[in-house]
Amino acid sequence: MRIIKNNIFQIILLSIFISCQTSNNLSESQLNKKVDDLIEKMTLDEKVGQMTQIDQRFLDTITDLSTYSIGSLLSGGGSHPSVNEPQAWLDMYNKYQSETLKNRLGIPLIYGIDAVHGHNNVYGATIFPQNIGLGATNNPELIFEVSKATSLEVAATGIDWTFSPCLSSPEDFRWGRTYEGFSSDPKIVEKLGRSAVEGYQSVVTATGKRIVACAKHFIGDGNTEFGTGMNGLVDRGNTILTKQELKEKLLPKYQAAIDANVQTIMASYNSWNGVKCHGSKELLTDILKVEMGFQGFVISDWQGIDEIPGNYKSDIATSINAGIDMVMVSGQGQPYKKFMRLLKENVEDGSISLERIDDAVRRILKVKFSNGIFKSPIVDNEKLEIIGSKKHREIARQAVRESIVVLKNENVLPLSKNLKSLVVAGRGADNLGMQCGGWTINWQGGQGDITVGTTILDGIKKSVATETNIIYSTDGSDLEDSESDLAVVVIGEDPYTEFFGDKDNLDLLNEDIQTINNLKNKGYKVVVLLISGRPLNVANHINDWDAFAAVWLPGTEGDGVSDILFGDYNSSGKLPYPWPIKAEDGANADERNLLYKLGFGL
Ligand code: BGC
Ligand code: BGC
C-alpha cells in the first residue's frame, strides 16, 4: 500500500513538473484556453502577420512590426546591429520588441538567430567548435554544457530562439555543410542532438524566459545525390530514399529531438524523391506532425518556399498546406508585404483553409506563451558580461581538446615544453577566422582577427617555457635550415558555408603542400594540424608527415589545441566520419578504400 501511495505521489509530482516545464507555470488546459481566446480576437491580417518572419536588415520601416503584428524577426548570418557589440544587440532586440508590442493585441515577437557554435554573430562571444568537432568528442554531457552556455549568451542579448541544432548526418563530404553535422552516423547524431536540444532549452532567464531550440533541416539535407544540387553539386539537391529507409535511417534523430521537447523544426531546402521538402505535406504534416507527434511549429528556411515549382502565390499555398507554420520570408528576395498580401489572398480564395491558418497561429502562440515570451518580452542587461566570459571559454577549450583526433604519431607527440626553439608555420597558425569557419560574425565567416580569441599560435606560446624560442613563419620559405628540428604546421580550408563550400575536389591546397615541403626540405620533422570542415585528400601526403591531427573548426579557444600538443591532456577525440583514401567517396566508401575508419583516433 505504502509503495503504491509513494508511486502515485511521484506520478503527481512528475506531472506537475512536466506541466510547469512545458508551459511556464500554465497547465496545458490553461495554455490552450489563453491561445484560443487570443485567436478568437485576431483578424486574418493579424494571423498572417504572426506567420511572417523578416530579417531585420530588410524591414522597410520599423513601424511595420506593429502595423502588421509581425510574428518574428531574425538575424541571418551577418545581420548585425550597426555596431557589433553585445549592448547594441540587446538594444536592438528591445527596440524591435517594444515597437512590436504596440500591435492591437500586444503580441510579442519571437526573435531567432543562428547560434550554431556559440552566439556566433556577436563580436566577442565564445565560439565553440563546429558540430563536426563536437561529434569527435562524442560526449553528450559536454554538448549539453556547450549548448547551455550558448543559450546563456543568446539570452543575454534578449534573443529568444536559436536555429540549432543541425541534425544532418552528412554522407557526401563535397557538401559545404558537412561540418554542421555531428557525424555521418545517424545514431551519434541522435544521441548528441538530443543533448544539444536539452542544453539549449535548459536556460530560463531571471524573468522566466526560456530559450527555444530548432532542429534542422527536415529532412535529408546531408543525404542528397551528387550532381542534383545547386550549381550541379550537393547543397539543396535531391535525397532518394524509400519511406521505409527514411524512417529507419533519418527519422529517429528527429524523434529524439521531439521527445526532448524541441519547440521548433526547420524544413530543409533539399527534395525528397524529387519533391521539395518545403512543399511536402507527406513529410511536414503526415509524418512529422501526425505520426511523430510534433506539437511545436515548423519554420521554413530562408526563401525556402520560393524554390517550390510554381509562382510565388502558389508556393505560399503549397508550403502552408504542406504544414509550414511560419515563413522565413527574409525580405531579401520577395518583399514581405507581397508575401502577406498573397497569403491573405490564398485564404480568401479558398486555396488555404482558415483551419490551417488557425492551426499554424495556435502553434506559434503556444511556443510564445509557454516559453515566457508574453510574460517578459523586454530584457534588461544584467547579464551581458556572460558573453565571452572566462567560464564559457573554459568550456569551449575543453570541447576543443576533446575534439582533436590524432591520426598519426611517429614518436613526436606530445611535444616537450622545454625545446630550445620550435617553428610554427602555415596559413592557419595565427588565423582566428580560419579556426572558426563559416557562420562566424558573417554568414561565410572571415579571415584573421574577426573576433576575440586565442589562435593556435597564441596557445602554443602560452604553453611553452619562457626560454623556448617560437619562430613563426607563414610558409616556411623564410627559415634558415634547422633553426629547430621540429615544426608545427597548420594548414586547411578557408571559411565557407552552404553552397559556397560545395567542392567537387577535396584536395589540399597547393600552397599548403608547398609550406610543408619547404619545411621538409630544410630538414624539419613536421606535425601537421589540419583545420577543416571535413576529411580531405591526405593519403598521398601523410607518409611525409611525422604526426598528423585533425583539429576541425575549433573556434576561438586555440589553447585547447596546445593542451593536446604538449600532453597536458591525453587525446581522446575519435573520427565522427570515416576518412576515405579519396575523400570524395564520402561516408559510403568501401571499407577497403578507407584511410581511417569512423571511430579511429590515437
Ligand atoms: C543571409 C544568411 C542566409 C543566406 C541564405 C544570406 O544573405 O545573411 O543568413 O542564410 O543568405 O541564402
Ligand atoms: C540556412 C539555415 C539558417 C537560415 C537563417 C539558411 O540559409 O540554411 O540553416 O538557419 O539560413 O540564417
Residue 445: nearest ligand to its CA?
Answer: 1
CB of 78 closer than 6 angstroms to any ligand 1 atom: yes
The pLDDT of residue 15: 45
- pLDDT band with cut points at 50, 70 and 90 for residue 1: very low
pLDDT band at 283 (very low <50, low <70, confident <90, very high): very high
Active site residues: 301, 498
Q: What confidence score (pLDDT) does residue 23 get?
A: 42
Backbone angles phi, psi at 247, to 5 degrees: -65, -45
Identify whether the C-beta of residue 578 lies closer than 8 Å to the C-beta of residue 592. no
Q: Please tell me the CATH code under which domain 390-596 is placed.
A: 3.40.50.1700
The candidate with the shortest Cα–Cα distance to 199, out of 127, 139, 266, 132, is 139
Task: Tell me, rounded to whole angstroms, the distance of Cα 64 from its chain centroid.
Answer: 30
Q: How confident is the model at residue 482 (pLDDT cuts 50, 70, 90)?
A: low
Identify the band that residue 18 occupies on the pLDDT scale cut at 50, 70 and 90: very low
Tens digit of pLDDT for each residue in 369-379?
Answer: 999 999 999 99
Mutate which of 303, 305, 443 to test ligand 1's pocket (most atoms within 8 Å of Cβ)? 443
| pLDDT averaged over every residue in the chain | 95
pLDDT tens digit sequence for 41-84: 999 999 999 999 999 999 999 999 999 999 999 999 999 999 99
Mean pLDDT of 101-109: 98
Q: Which residues, other chains included, contact 13 with Cβ-Cβ below 8 Å and sequence gap of 6+?
A: none
pLDDT of 17 over the 70 cut:
no
Question: What mean pLDDT is predicted for residues 403-412?
Answer: 98
Burial class (CB in 10 A: 0-12, 13-18, 19+), 390: exposed
Ligand 1 pocket, residue 302 CB under 6 Å: yes
| Cα of 302 from ligand 2 centre, angstroms | 6
Question: Is 20's pLDDT higher than 60?
Answer: no
* Residue nearest ligand 2's atom 4 by CA: 302
pLDDT for the residue numbered 381:
66
Residue 74: Cβ-neighbour burial (10 angstroms; 0-12, 13-18, 19+) = buried
At residue 206, the pLDDT reads 86
Domain made up of 2-380: CATH architecture: Alpha-Beta Barrel (3.20)
pLDDT at 484 over 80: no
Query: Does the pLDDT of residue 9 top 60, yes or no?
Result: no
Max alpha carbon distance in the chain (Å)?
84
pLDDT of residue 357 exceeding 50, the answer is yes
Q: How far is the CA of 129 from the centre of ligand 1 (A)?
A: 21
What is the C-alpha to C-alpha distance for residues 152 and 139, in angstroms, rounded to an integer? 20
Domain ranges of the chain: 2-380, 390-596
pLDDT for the residue numbered 14: 46
- Contact of 490 with 424, CB cutoff 8 Å: yes
